[in-house]
Amino acid sequence: MARGSFQVEAPEREAAAAAGECPGEEGSEGRKTSAEEMWTSPMSQAKISRWVSLWFALAALWPTTGAQENINWEIQRYDGWYNNLVHHRHNSAGSLFSRLLPANYADGVYQAQQEPAVPTARELSNAVAQGDSESPSQGNRTVLSVFFGFHVLSEISEAIKPGCPAEFLNLPVPKGDPVFDPTGSGDVVLPFQRMQWAPGTGRSPNNPREQINGVTGWLDGSAIYGPSHSWSDSLRSFSKGKLAVGSDPLFPKQTKANSLMWKALDPSTGQGGIERIFDFGNAKGNENPFLQVIGIVWFRYHNHWAEILAEKNPKWSDEDVFQHARKRVIATYQNIVLYEWLPAFLGKENISPYADYNQHVDARISPEFLVASALSLGTMVPSGVYMRDTNCTLRNVLNPEGNYSAALRLGNNYWSRGNSNLQLSKDVDDLLLGMSSQIAEQEDNIVVEDLRGRPSVPLPSNPIHCFHAYLLFDG
């Protein structure tokens, strides 16, 4: 079937063809409806007349309902298909991760590696990531650059969806662990649910279990607009090309209870719900305020360009404005990531310019890259993040206990609802200014206790435990 075509074959039509009958026949003894009867029957004529009238009505309305009249390029798909002209599905949402190393399951197929073959995740965390923190970055990296790195990681990978049917593993905690087993009971475990795998895999040593990337593996703005057309539609206002806004036009709209946005419980209060959970292209964009404000920046940037384009081109439809703004935003995002953020973050003066399309390059994301990137970024996250105003004055922030401190404590700000420090658009600006002027943690193997071991931080938000568990248990 040609790309873009649409064809439906009814089961009855297929059955008739298999039986040697023509569609429309009632069988060897039934009456055959002739073409002449079909066109001359009063009832058929009435149906045809209604269909023709409906077609002309739709054709008349088409130019006013968002037709792409001023778009002269092939609109980029949301799901990442067809960027590789040989392997069309490579890096698309829902496609397989690639592997740099062979799978390492206990049975060679799908069963998780556990003790005594491998150490527990907590033992590995204690041995590798525990130590004195609060040392400054040797590369002068800022907190903003670190959380922007997490944003980029969410742009090209998602490995958090649970498998179906659910498979739970209990990660044992060493007896007497000062954080998780202070009483020394020796029976404390951390619950862990294995991630989604590809159907049809995990059936033999020649076909071990493979994991699925929930988003596109391209720098295509999926963390801004979502990894599917329907997701993008849910973010739009369908008015003047803008993304939908909340009560404050500088904030996205609040999500709904049945949306695809993650709405984990606040681990410090147990509070759930949708309060201050905004709609983003990234399902985990509300995990903490530091990722949240980066998502708000790109939301604002899109609407900024939509306003400019709509004002300059008053005859453009909503779709015209949206796609032109989207194209500019994605191009800006790609330029910042590849030619500004990445060279500065890697300590390189420049990145080799794009040469030309090469269909033989496998650009898929690998689990090895995902784990290494998340763990590397995790070592640079500080235990507290400052807020400051345009006069370079640091702001005191209100804690959940009702007292004030000099910074937003990391462990108290995961999945927080209605954070009193982030109610106004100025609060977003102040947090971005604080993140851009604060030096990150040193690039080493040490992770702050707010991420590594504080009980107030849930396991899925813990890069050390979560990704060490991924290394140990998911091949």
**Encoded tokens for 59:** 């054709």
Phi, psi of 50, rounded to the nearest 5 degrees: -65, -40
Mean pLDDT of 40-50: 63
Question: Is 464 a member of any domain?
Answer: yes
**Is residue 72 a part of any domain in this protein?**
no
What distance in Å separates the CA atoms of residue 262 and residue 310, rounded to the nearest whole number?
Answer: 33
pLDDT over 80 (residue 139): yes
Query: What residues make up the domain containing 110?
Result: 100-475
Distance of CA 343 to the CA centre of its chain: 24
Please give the backbone phi and psi of residue 245, each rounded to the nearest 5 degrees, phi first.
-110, 165
> Would you say residue 27 has pLDDT above 60?
no
- In this structure, what token pair is assigned to residue 45? 């004529």
The least confident of 31-35, 282-286, 333-337, 388-392 is: 31-35
Q: What pLDDT sits at residue 37?
A: 53
Q: How many domains does the chain have?
A: 1
Residue 20 lies in a domain: no
Average pLDDT over residues 215-219: 96
Please give the single-letter amino acid code of residue 239.
Answer: S
Residue 292 pLDDT class (50, 70, 90 cuts): very high
DSSP string, 73-110: SPPPPSS-TTSSSSSTTTT-TTPBPP-SS----TTSSS
Structural domain includes residue 37: no
pLDDT tens digit sequence for 413-470: 888 887 889 999 999 999 999 999 999 999 999 999 888 875 443 333 333 333 344 3
Domain assignment present for 9 = no
* pLDDT at residue number 41: 59
Highest mean pLDDT among 34-38, 193-197, 208-212, 452-456: 208-212
- pLDDT of 233-291, one tens digit each? 999 999 999 999 999 999 999 999 988 898 888 877 778 899 889 999 999 999 999 99
Selection from 14-28, 132-146, 217-231, 262-276 with the highest mean pLDDT: 217-231
Q: What is the pLDDT of residues 352-395, one digit of tens each?
A: 888 888 888 899 999 999 999 999 999 999 999 999 999 999 99
**Is the pLDDT reported for residue 133 higher than 90?**
no
CATH number at residue 427: 1.10.640.10
**Lowest mean pLDDT, pick from 64-73, 114-123, 149-158:** 64-73
Q: Considering the domain boundaries, does residue 475 fall inside one?
A: yes
Q: What's the average model confidence in pLDDT over 37-43?
A: 53
Backbone angles phi, psi at 388, to 5 degrees: -145, 155
pLDDT at 82: 93
Structure confidence by residue, pLDDT tens digits, 305-327? 999 999 999 999 999 999 999 99
Average pLDDT, the chain: 83
**Whole-number Å distance between alpha carbons of 21 and 28:** 8
In a domain, 228, yes or no: yes
Residue with tokens 């898929």: 364
Residues 6+ apart with CB under 8 A from 173: 120, 122, 180, 181, 188, 189, 190
Within 13 A of 260's CA, how many CA atoms are on the CB side? 17
* Residue 200, domain member (yes or no): yes
